[in-house]
Amino acid sequence: MPTGPVRRATAIAVALLGCLALLLTGCSRPAAEPVAAVPTVSAASLPPEARETLRLIDAGGPFPYAKDGTVFHNFEGILPKRPSDYYREYTVPTPGAPDRGARRIVTGAGGEAYYTDDHYKTFRAVRR
């Protein structure tokens, strides 16, 4: 059985290994996920239909499409990760399109807005 300095060195080594094990197994907070930077666009430079959609969103409606205001689930993962009901989507009418078209405004519960003109393939954060 070790005595004196050997025993003390062994105890210190065991304590240090225990601390290292705690750090490696999650005793600290996990690192935040990096979020890809979403390009920005000024509201003034959006198409007039998108500016009108933003005005309707700010006014609380009425909205021309039944799907306006429904949950946007961010399945593409392009927008920052948030709870599943955080984002809402709104149609931006596309002149000449026989249906709702590809353009949307997606808003977050924190007040942010994103514009897509290619049906969720890319987004731009709207600066107001």
Is residue 33 among the annotated active site residues? no
Is residue 89 among the annotated active site residues? yes
Distances (CA, A) of 58 to 26, 55, 95: 43, 5, 22
Write the DSSP string, 20-80.
HHHHHTTSSPPPPPP-PPPPEEEGGGS-HHHHHHHHHHHHT---SSTTTTEEE--TT--SP
Catalytic entry in 33, 49, 73, 89: 89
Catalytic entry in 73, 76, 112, 119: 119
| Catalytic residue annotation | 89, 119
